[in-house]
């Protein structure tokens, strides 16, 4: 059974640019959540999608957006990148929210210069 696949693994962008990150969940998993991980802030919740609907959103500015497709694959987009957006972005898939727990991808390491 394939795991959660995130692409790309590493990315370097310039301040002001935009970026799109991709996540393919485990087959059959309909819930996809995104987290930002930084040394200072830890794991911060970005948003959660289930069957193409965003059900919850964290406290991030509108520059951060996402979507989920009918095959459960998800993308997140960050526009007008800032230096502070440098982080490891983790995607986690689950059968549903609740007591199932997550399967995480290896993450996308974004560096903004």
Among 55, 69, 80, 84, which residue sits at the site for another protein (rule: CB under 8 A)? Answer: 55
Determine which helix (DSSP H) or strand (DSSP E) holds 30, and give its type and residue range: none
Q: According to the binding rule CB under 8 A, does residue 60 interact with another protein?
A: no
- Residue closest to 32 by CA, chosen among 76, 87, 88, 62: 76
Piece of the chain touching another protein by CB under 8 A; list 59-67, 68-76, 78-86, 93-101: 93-101
Q: Toward another protein, which CB reaches closer, 60 or 102?
A: 102
Q: According to the binding rule CB under 8 A, does residue 27 interact with another protein?
A: no
Following DSSP, what letter does each residue of 56-74 receive, concatenated?
Answer: EE-S--TTEEEEE-TTS-E
């Amino acid at each position: 059974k394939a795991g959660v696949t995130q692409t790309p693994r590493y990315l370097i962008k310039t301040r002001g640019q935009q970026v799109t990150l991709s996540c393919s969940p485990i087959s059959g998993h309909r819930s996809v959540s995104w987290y930002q991980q930084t040394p200072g802030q830890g794991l911060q919740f970005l948003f959660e999608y289930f069957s193409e609907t965003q059900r919850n959103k964290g406290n991030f500015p509108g520059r951060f957006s996402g979507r989920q497709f009918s095959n459960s694959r998800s993308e997140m987009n960050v526009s007008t990148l800032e230096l502070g957006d440098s982080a490891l972005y983790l995607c986690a898939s689950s059968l549903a929210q609740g007591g199932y727990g997550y399967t995480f991808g290896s993450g996308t390491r974004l560096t903004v210069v």
